[in-house]
Amino acid sequence: MFPSRIIAAPMAGGVSTPALVSAVARAGGLGFLAAGYKSVTALRAEIASVRLTGLPFGVNLFVPGGPAKNREPLLAYRAKLASLADRYGVVLPDPQYDDDGWDSKVRTLMDEPVPFVSLTFGLPDRAIIGALQQRGTVVISTVTCQRELALAREHGVNAAVVQHSSAGGHSAVFDPSHPAERPTTDIAALIASLIPNSAVPLIAAGGLTGGRDIRRTLDAGATAVQLGTLFVRTHESGARQIHKDALASLAFPGTAVTQAFSGRPARGLENQFMREHRDAPLGYPEVHHLTSPLRAAAAAAGDPELLALWAGTGYRAAQPIGATDLVAHLIAELDR
């Protein structure tokens, strides 16, 4: 089903460029474009670019939830950020909901099928999953616990990415107000706990830093591993240089989970904004749109203390090398 044991995670916000996905594929890995935060026109252009390689690739979709039921915490958060907005000379928008062009993106993947589609933040109607599969697409759900895995199987997915809490970026938890308990110590242990009751192949994600971690996780029962943070500093990554530099900076000694930037739990390098807004409300994508002008202004000013520097716990292993070289090195480690 999968052309490689090494998968480059979809990273929204510009990190997962067509160049990165293509470089991963050329080395024998499998890369994913990230449709999140992207127009349908841009998504189609990226798909066309990667398709020219003739190699397998995938597209990741954010499954939309509903709008926030209570806008009062969102408006209070906007008011709290007003002085910071004044300092940067930006206007904060009203917190607004949208579904990230869900229908148009699904229609695009129906009209122009790709080999793999992964789903994050939940599950769509079974009919959508079935329709994608009828077009020859392998459909993968991202899950964080046994309950979500069971739901994904009921919906008929072909495989599941099991995301450990040590992973960088957004947690894929279906209901962010009720995060799953994770008693296991690492991704290998989580995979081992799920394998006995799993009827679909499992892809492991979270906290993997090299060949030894990957081998142990594959030995625990994973079909493949999905790596994100290791690719952020690669030459083909579209991450801002300030983000790449922060992963190597001693100014950021660790990561933490926050909802201050987007209204959904996500792991990144702990910075001042995260520390000062630990009480930020849930509400995705409302909070994402609300803080977007602040993050853009901080990026322009070269201020990492106000940026979402997504990173998993193994971020120190990320190196400034070519993605093809990284994948080739990991595969060679596994084949020793």
CA angle 131, 6, 314 (to 5 degrees): 115
| Per-residue model confidence (pLDDT) at position 4 | 87
| Per-residue model confidence (pLDDT) at position 197 | 87
Closest CA to 2 of 139, 131, 133, 190: 139
Q: In what order do the strands lie in the sheet with 255-258?
A: 169-170, 266-269, 255-258
| Per-residue model confidence (pLDDT) at position 64 | 97
| Per-residue model confidence (pLDDT) at position 336 | 74
pLDDT mean values, one per 10 residues, the chain (336 residues) = 91 97 97 97 98 97 95 98 96 96 98 98 98 98 96 98 96 87 78 94 96 95 98 98 97 96 98 97 98 97 97 97 97 87
Q: 149's torsion region: left (phi>0), alpha (psi -120 to 50) or beta?
A: alpha
Contacts of 143 (CB under 8 A, 6+ apart): 149, 151, 152, 160, 161, 162, 163, 172, 174
| Chain centroid to CA 63 | 12
- What is the C-alpha to C-alpha distance for residues 74 and 91, in angstroms, rounded to an integer? 15
Rounded alpha-carbon distances, angstroms, from residue 101 to 63, 143, 212: 10, 22, 40
| Per-residue model confidence (pLDDT) at position 14 | 96
Do 324 and 295 contact (CB within 8 A), yes or no?
A: no
Closest CA to 221 of 162, 155, 142, 146: 162
pLDDT, tens only, 315-330: 999 999 999 999 999 9
- What is the C-alpha to C-alpha distance for residues 299 and 292, in angstroms, rounded to an integer? 11
**CA atoms within 13 Å, Cβ hemisphere of 208:** 34
Structure tokens at 240: 């801002």
- What is the C-alpha to C-alpha distance for residues 119 and 192, in angstroms, rounded to an integer? 22
Backbone angles phi, psi at 122, to 5 degrees: 150, -165
Residues forming beta bridges with residue 119, ordered by sequence position: 61, 141
| Per-residue model confidence (pLDDT) at position 320 | 98
- What is the C-alpha to C-alpha distance for residues 247 and 319, in angstroms, rounded to an integer? 9
pLDDT, tens only, 164-213: 999 999 999 999 987 765 556 899 999 999 999 899 999 999 999 999 99
Q: Write down the mean pLDDT value for the chain.
A: 96
Quick count: other Cβ atoms within 10 Å of Cβ 94?
11
